[in-house]
Amino acid sequence: MKKILLLMAALLAAMTWTGCQDTLEEDVITDPEETAEAGMDAVATLTIEAGKGADTKALALADDGTTATISAFWSEGEQVTVFNPSGSAIGTLTATPKEDNTKATLFGEITISGLSVGQNLTLLFPAETWSYEGQNGKLLNTPAHSDWKSIEKNFDFARATVTIKEITASNITTTSSATFENQQSIYRFGFLHGGYTIPAEKVMITSNQNMLTKSVNAVSGSNTYFTSGEAMTVDLKTTPSAGELIYVAVRNGNTTQDDTFSFTIYDVNGATYKGSKTIPSGKLSSPFVSAKNVGLSRLELPQGATNVTTAL
């Protein structure tokens, strides 16, 4: 009887040890194929050296009084979204600027399930869909106005493409660094009446080519334009000074024909102005276009219009 009890105890101990072994093996999955079979997405670390030209994000303006240039730099913690060839977001990379802050290291984890060597990855700042609505005429945020929807923070969209070189269980590498390209032009406007820059409160812009972009799916390349009769509207965040210039990010689907921009301007005193400016085709793809002297005509209300009290 004692032998039988000892044998049963040994069997129970063996069964318990086997159960523990099975549990441990199920919790630790390191092979990507096992991960996929378990219904989990395999991830790997992607590290990319990235650069940007003088026409892409995070901006700084230098003006010597005769010419103006925009330089670009990376900001600490900026995030770039990575998309696979089918257009699905598979992760984000965080920027760490180098001493030369036009360059940075992008680092993060992405899902590698379904990826293969030779495929292209699309890197977008800041997301898949870009909208050019809601601008307030500011180029840069300032410490006193960190809530400004400036071009620097919200409308300086950029894109890069890299090719997969190697995929392992822990890392993914690319054949080259990432070079980001701007996806719009930045316009600087000054509106004049009687030789003076007016303090604009709202600016409405239309184009005779009707190809100013309202929004774009950056992965698919699908654009939505401001339609005929619809204006790109810029509402200034703060009351402007009389000499303040206005900055607008413009993505123009027309790059081959001279384009005439028409403006309707409302100033801080409620006056309305209209004017236009022809942009030569050679300037439409420029990263920075300065039009500081757009002449406007003030609209005068018909005599007696203020006496109308009933609207039909």
Q: Which residue has the higher pLDDT, 206 or 183?
A: 206
The predicted structure's pLDDT at residue 294: 95
Statement: residue 236 has pLDDT above 90: no
Contact between residue 252 and residue 213 where contact means Cβ atoms under 8 Å apart: yes
Statement: residue 14 has pLDDT above 50: no
pLDDT > 70: percent of the chain: 73
pLDDT band at 163 (very low <50, low <70, confident <90, very high): very high
Statement: residue 295 has pLDDT above 50: yes
The predicted structure's pLDDT at residue 68: 65
The predicted structure's pLDDT at residue 63: 64
26-40, 90-104, 185-199, range with the lowest pLDDT:
26-40
Q: Which residue has the higher pLDDT, 286 or 127?
A: 286
In sequence order, the β-bridge partners of residue 134 are none
Residue 105 to residues 75, 119, 208, 245: CA-CA distances in angstroms?
A: 11, 21, 42, 34
The predicted structure's pLDDT at residue 89: 95
For residue 143, whether the previous peptide bond is cis, meaning omega lies within 30 degrees of 0, is no
The predicted structure's pLDDT at residue 84: 96
pLDDT digits (tens, 9 = 90+) for 134-153: 999 988 877 666 667 888 88
3-class DSSP assignment, residue 97:
strand
If 0-12 CB within 10 Å is exposed, 13-18 middle and 19+ buried, where does residue 17 land?
exposed
pLDDT digits (tens, 9 = 90+) for 37-81: 434 579 999 999 998 654 444 566 666 556 666 767 888 999 999
In sequence order, the β-bridge partners of residue 277 are 261
The predicted structure's pLDDT at residue 16: 46
CA-nearest of 281, 263, 262 to 272 is 263
Single-letter code of the amino acid located at 24 = L
Single-letter code of the amino acid located at 128 = E
pLDDT band at 18 (very low <50, low <70, confident <90, very high): very low
Statement: residue 213 has pLDDT above 60: yes
The predicted structure's pLDDT at residue 122: 96
Q: Is the entire prediction scored with pTM above 0.75?
A: yes
Which 3-state string (H, E, C) describes 141-164? CECCECCCCCHHHHCCCEEEEEEE
Q: Hey, what's the torsion of the CAs at 213, 254, 258, 261, to 10 degrees?
A: -10
The 10 Å Cβ neighbour count of residue 138 is: 24
Which 3-state string (H, E, C) describes 221-236? CEEEECCCCCCEEEEC
3-class DSSP assignment, residue 125:
strand
